[in-house]
Amino acid sequence: MQDQAAHSMAAQRPASGLFGGRAVDCDVHISVPSVKALLPYLDSYWRQQFLTRGIDRISWNMTSDPPNAPLMIRPDRRPANGRPGSDFSILKDKHLDLFGPSAAIANCIYGGMALHSEDMAAVVCTAVNDWIAAEWLDRDPRLRASIVVPLNNPDLAAEEIERRAGDPRFVQVLMLAMGEQPLGKRAHWPIYAAASRHGLPIGVHAGSLYHHPALAGGYGSYFLEDYVAQAFGFESCVLSLVSEGVFAKFPELKFVFMESGVTWLPAALWRFDKTWRGVRAEIPWVKTPPSQVVRDHIRLTLQPFDAPDGAGRLERFCEQMKTDEMILFSTDFPHWHFDGEDALPIDAASPLARKILWDNPRATYPRLNALSPEVAA
């Protein structure tokens, strides 16, 4: 596997594209085209199960990720056939070559992780990770991936992390913002222990297992409500991760919130800090204001950046958070948050842009430390 890494680095293309290699795209989406595509990655028992039960003929689209909703597929990234994000050539020609990142982290948000059968979910996640390695990572040295894990069984999730950790192209563990229990709960800690052992951040992506409604008042009528509510889910993640003491237990661990939106965070922390001053006796292991814990341990990907164009809110975010190290560049390919090449809400030549595009991702992902556009050139 180490040879594979060396090969990847050496094989990096000449720096080119919009950012000349000096960027990491921390959230692009790849998509399993059909359950059938996973059959080669199943053992004979599970392959037979899938075939006799007709599972290979059903869709595992997620309710929180409807592939054809306008927000989920930019028109010029839509493949002629199949699911958005399932066509390698579109990702390569229309995206990676255009923006020219040194690396792009591929997230496969897949319904298999939502199955109630813990065994089947684990088998599907293993198959998906094998499929990611064979069908994507092997085809483009810029691609990295998040490890897909069965969210309903943290022990099996930890086993999957152990299985992938030797492949340096897997750079983080993928979880969803809204699952069965708040992310800080101790039930999840086997996942965090495994991730910590291998220097892997936890990437928390927008999405829900729908064990609970996204709105505290129950289920609304529109996808738009639930999509907006993803940010509320992430806000709960912040409260849970800090309050449960995840970072007291795993001091090296970092969480990356992906497709979370960004501008909601400062006000959430004003409130959290204030309440903590009043009731911190309830969580005595949190010894510094929560905003400090968040600054040290949580990162957010850029897109969709939820503020009006030209309002200076990204700069204000950094002022209010008192750091420019929290935002990681992302395009959220193939989702439709911006048109053309307009992925950055600030001047690409600014010092803040350099932090977001290049310094912050490498500081967040130990496995990307060694990236260098000079090597690439």
Binding site for another protein (CB under 8 A): 69-71, 177-185, 208, 211-225, 227-229, 231-233, 235-237, 239-240, 243-244, 261, 263-264, 266-268, 270-283, 304, 306-308, 313, 320, 322, 336-337
Structure tokens at 373: 């556009």
Question: What is the nearest approach in angstroms of another protein to the Cβ of residue 213?
Answer: 6
In the three-class reduction of DSSP (H, G, I as helix; E, B as strand; rest coil), residue 338 is classed as: coil
DSSP category for residue 96: I
Return the number of the residue (100 or 207) whose C-beta is nearest another protein. Answer: 207
Question: What is the nearest approach in angstroms of another protein to the Cβ of residue 30?
Answer: 21
Return the number of the residue (182 or 366) whose C-beta is nearest another protein. Answer: 182
Return the number of the residue (309 or 374) whose C-beta is nearest another protein. Answer: 309
In the three-class reduction of DSSP (H, G, I as helix; E, B as strand; rest coil), residue 98 is classed as: helix
- In the sheet that holds 101-107, the strands lie side by side as 21-29, 101-107, 143-148, 170-178, 202-208, 255-258, 298-301, 327-328
- Residue 265's alpha-carbon distances to 279, 305, 360, in angstroms, are 21, 12, 18
Return the number of the residue (1 or 311) whose C-beta is nearest another protein. Answer: 311
Say whether the peptide bond before residue 304 is cis (omega within 30 degrees of 0). Answer: yes
Question: What is the nearest approach in angstroms of another protein to the Cβ of residue 66?
Answer: 10
Q: CA dihedral defined by 229, 99, 82, 171, rounded to 10 degrees?
A: -70
Question: What is the nearest approach in angstroms of another protein to the Cβ of residue 221?
Answer: 6
Question: What is the nearest approach in angstroms of another protein to the Cβ of residue 364?
Answer: 23
Return the number of the residue (13 or 185) whose C-beta is nearest another protein. Answer: 185
